[in-house]
Structure 1
Amino acid sequence: MARLLIVGGFLAAVFWVFSIVDCAVQPATRHRGVPKPAWIAIVVLIPVIGGILWFALGRRRRGEQPSVPFIPADDDPGFLSRIDKREQDARIAELEAELARLEDEGDGSPTDSRP
């Protein structure tokens, strides 16, 4: 039993050191989730579990592309270039005409109730 504990402890120490070195050597672009110094701290402060977390969650695989952040349509130049300006202007004119018609109809009550 003692040999098993010694071998297990030795393997855990080797895995811990390997995890620290692997985390420190990887370029910052291959880190997922939190920044590189945070991953190093996680691996150092939580020896075996930190290494498992690093290999399972934190390390981006070779060839894996980083996720693209969401860009709203009004900030996306590609989307804005695809919009037909005439269609957009026609839709705005149509909405303005509908709004003017609704304002003219009203509901029969005065819009300004001040004396």
Structure 2
Amino acid sequence: MLRYLPLFIALALMVYCVIDVAQSEADRIRNAPRWLWLTVIVVVPIIGPICWLLLGRPKADGGGGGGYDRPRYPDDDPDFLRRL
């Protein structure tokens, strides 16, 4: 049973990366188009998913604001302050 563990890990990593590529916004994917990343992940089992995680995955925004540039608080929003 233990000898199948590397195969299971490689398969799980590949499935995770394929789903991650499919759910990523096409304009935010780095270094290659989506179809090429999917091909690399499926054809090159261990190296492909690792390359996706390191080189292709969109960078996190860090702010959690949903990807759009809005003021965080009402007093930072000039339009809101103008309406007062």
Provide the TM-score with structure 1 as the length reference: 0.49
Larger fraction in helix: 1
Select between 49-58 and 8-17 the one with higher mean Cα deviation.
8-17
Corresponding position: 1:7 with 2:5: yes
Secondary structure (helix, strand or coil) at the match of 1:33 reads: coil
Which letter does structure 1 place at the counterpart of 2:35?
A: P
Which letter does structure 1 place at the counterpart of 2:25?
A: P
Moved over 3 A (4+): none
Equivalent pair of 2:24/2:58 in contact (CA under 8 Å)? no
- Provide the aligned length of Structure 1 versus Structure 2: 62
Percent identity over the alignment? 32
Give the alignment's Cα RMSD to 1 decimal: 1.5
Provide the TM-score with structure 2 as the length reference: 0.66
**How far did 1:4 drift?**
2.8
**How far did 1:8 drift?**
1.5
Contiguous gaps of at least 5 residues in structure 1: 65-115
**How far did 1:36 drift?**
1.0
Q: Which one of 41, 44, 52 corresponds to residue 54 of structure 1?
A: 52
Give me the whole-angstrom Cα distance separating, in 2, the residues matched to 1:30 and 1:58: 9
**How far did 1:22 drift?**
0.7
Larger Rg: 1
